[in-house]
Amino acid sequence: MDIKKSAGLIMHPTALPSKYGIGDFGDTSKLFIDFLNETSTNIWQVLPLGLTSLDEFSPYSSPSSILGNRYLIDVDKLSTYDKVDFEIPQFSKEYVQYKDVYKFKDDIFKKISENIDINDKPFSTFLNNELIRKHITFLILKDLNKESWNNWEKIHHKYSDNLFEKLSDENSKIVNFHVLTQYEFFNQWDSLKKYANDNNVQILGDIPIYVNHDSADVWLNKEMFELDESGNMEFFSGAVPDSFNSEGQVWGNALYKWDIHKNDDFKYWKEKLNTSLNLYDYLRIDHFIGFFKFWAIPKGESALNGHWREGPRLDFFETINKDVDLTKLLAEDLGVILKETKEVLEKFNIPGMKVLQQRIPDSDENLPYLGDSEEIDKKSLFDEASDDYFEETHPSNWEFSLAAYTGTHDSPTTKEWFDEVSKSKYQNFLDYSQLINNKFDNDVWNFISLVWESNCQLAITTVQDLLELDYKGRFNIPGTSENNWIWRLDNFDSLKNVTNVLKELNHSTSRN
């Protein structure tokens, strides 16, 4: 990764303060950038900015890997269009009430979109982007058909420019709505990213390796996904059972036909990665191991009954390297790190990740639990594991080409981690802390200091950890669907209280 030794914070825009019930690209985003700049924190890590489901709200579950989340649009910046009258509901300041926010903002967007003409130059120029136009067409058809794409009538099974024109003529309200909101999303985000870059802050984005079955990606590229003749999935994506979840996880995404992708020179991936790299300065790829091995789960079965399959491995990276700047990537390679994965990361200068919560040893046994099912081929996985996977080491010994984290969006807050950790792990943390130079009078900041004093090129924590929040600040619990993605920062007063502390830590660890 072409970046100097730096510090960063994870803060998804939805979690920023806003009078509209959800964080957005408005003034509070700029205030957050100002905070980062003032503390010499040069990386703002966001979760995927794609459109979220009306039911799940997860940024990792979207109907499109290309389009943006319209609910992040700042309503106050829609000044170029006829104003509409609206009354702001009494939204919670602590949590996102997604369904209420969705209804409120969509009502505004619908009223404004009635006054636009997509043939006007700004919109027609925007729609010249073929990939965006195709993905918008999927959203239009989804609104019209309601059901999954494989249940649509035959005339809607395949994209064409004529189809888009026909939809524009016959369903102008729906078309205008989606064109307006996507146009505004990209315009506002470009403006915000420029503000960040002008103020010494770079954006680390995020992209999941898999996409939803009911998505524009699959609809437009059916031949590249593992589907039956009716367009249904026979196998689902998921996670192997491990020490964090003994049952594993069924994610339910469509699996790739990697041989078809290879025959097409991985064009789909080149387009997707380059689109994301146009949005962000750097890009984290979630579940990076999926390019090497992936867990396939038969339809209707639990994750325990899954099996390993081979990904495209080195060939994928050698091929896309001609068209994609791999030095802008960060690999989420948590769990078992395969030898070939490590070799690829080193060859293309892609850093992996270490999460301190997962690396404080509890006993001599550091291997993850992979379940009891005979279906799980433990040996084939561990035979390929990198040697450094099998033993823990103090963060001061971690290598440079890594992003070191206290925790991630999927982790407990560090305060919550301390509340639940075993005595032996806590003692190991205390032992680790004896070696740090920047010592504080509380465990959470000493935990942060351990990460910051590592030699890793990126040191990242969450805003919740800066504020020493407990379980109430947790953003997501993997494998659950209730009360995730809803936490919000009430106001910036609490961050002001840690401004000098973070700034001094960044300077003392040469991360400024």
In tens, the pLDDT along 279-320 reads: 999 999 999 999 999 999 999 999 999 999 999 999 999 999
Question: Over 50: is that where the pLDDT of 23 sits?
Answer: yes
Local confidence band at 232 (pLDDT 50, 70, 90 cut-offs)? very high
Closest to 167 measured CA to CA, from 139, 126, 209, 207 = 139
Q: Average pLDDT for residues 375-395, to the nearest whole number? A: 59
pTM for the complete prediction? 0.94
End-to-end CA distance of the chain: 17
pLDDT in tens, 457-491: 999 999 999 999 999 999 999 888 889 999 999 99
Q: Average pLDDT for residues 236-241, to the nearest whole number? A: 91
For 188-201, b where at least 16 C-beta lie within 10 A, e where not — what string?
A: bbeebbeebeeeeb
Closest to 59 measured CA to CA, from 72, 74, 42 = 72
Which residue's structure tokens are 């888009």? 164
Local confidence band at 364 (pLDDT 50, 70, 90 cut-offs)? very low
Question: Over 70: is that where the pLDDT of 437 sits?
Answer: yes
Q: Which domains does the chain have, with CATH numbers?
A: 6-66+203-508 (3.20.20.80)
Listed as own residue / partner, the contacts of 51-58 with beta carbons closer than 8 Å and 24 or more positions apart are: 51/139, 52/98, 54/99, 54/102, 56/481, 57/96, 57/98, 57/484, 57/485, 57/486, 58/476, 58/484, 58/485
Give the mean pLDDT of the chain: 93
Helices (H), 41-127: 98-113, 121-126
Please state whether beta strands 329-331 and 307-310 pair in parallel, antiparallel, or not at all (unpaired). unpaired
Local confidence band at 242 (pLDDT 50, 70, 90 cut-offs)? confident
d(CA 429, CA 418): 10
Q: Average pLDDT for residues 100-123, to the nearest whole number? A: 95
Share of the chain above pLDDT 70, in %: 93
Extended strands (E) in 337-394: 352-355
d(CA 33, CA 17): 13
Kind plus residue range of the DSSP H or E element containing 401:
none
d(CA 167, CA 174): 9
Q: Average pLDDT for residues 107-136, to the nearest whole number? A: 96
pLDDT in tens, 58-92: 999 999 999 999 999 999 998 656 678 889 999 99
DSSP string covering 206-275, please?
EEESS--SSSHHHHHTGGGB-B-TTS-BSEEEEE---SS-TT-EE--PPPB-HHHHHHTTTHHHHHHHHH
- What's residue 381's pLDDT? 59
φ, ψ dihedrals at 74, nearest 5°: -80, 115
Q: Average pLDDT for residues 325-349, to the nearest whole number? A: 94
CB of 506 closer than 8 Å to CB of 49: no
- What's residue 367's pLDDT? 41
409: its two tokens: 């969006």
- What's residue 245's pLDDT? 76
- What's residue 116's pLDDT? 92
Q: Average pLDDT for residues 6-23, to the nearest whole number? A: 98
- What's residue 53's pLDDT? 85
Question: Over 70: is that where the pLDDT of 390 sits?
Answer: no
Question: Over 50: is that where the pLDDT of 365 sits?
Answer: no
Surface-to-core class of residue 475, CB atoms within 10 Å of its CB (0-12 exposed, 13-18 middle, 19+ buried): buried
Local confidence band at 385 (pLDDT 50, 70, 90 cut-offs)? low
Kind plus residue range of the DSSP H or E element containing 156:
none
CB of 230 closer than 8 Å to CB of 238: no
- What's residue 241's pLDDT? 83
Q: Average pLDDT for residues 341-370, to the nearest whole number? A: 82
Lowest mean pLDDT among 62-66, 184-188, 384-388: 384-388
